[in-house]
Amino acid sequence: MALAGGGANSVIGSCGAFSGGLMVLSARFSPRSDTLSDKEREQLAYARGKFAQFRDWFIAEFGSVACRDVQLKVLGRVFNITDDQEFQEFMEYQKQSGRYCREVYLKAALKVSEIISAEK
């Protein structure tokens, strides 16, 4: 939940689904040491390619990595979910419209899973 709404519900940060996806990809593909060997430098370059693959897919799917832009694309409007009244409107709007932010993180999770499972 800390990643939701652009990070702590700020709406101005990266979409939580994007941030979470990068965290998982980083945990899977990033080198583990602080001092990189040549092999780990290659691993880092490979990891960056995976991050870019996810970023490019996310932008193609949702138009941006920014929370407010993703809300606008998915929901058709932006909600300030740090405001209690707007949060309630956000929840009600999703029920009434049948359009949900959770679709973003579900699609993102499936894409991350796809990227990881494509490994040899």
Give the contacts of 36 (CB within 8 A, at least 6 positions apart): 44
Residue whose token pair is 């359009």:
99
pLDDT tens per residue, range 68-97: 999 999 999 999 888 899 989 999 999 999
pLDDT tens per residue, range 28-75: 988 777 787 888 888 888 888 999 999 999 999 999 999 899 999 999
Q: In terms of DSSP H, where are the helices of 63-101?
A: 67-75, 84-97
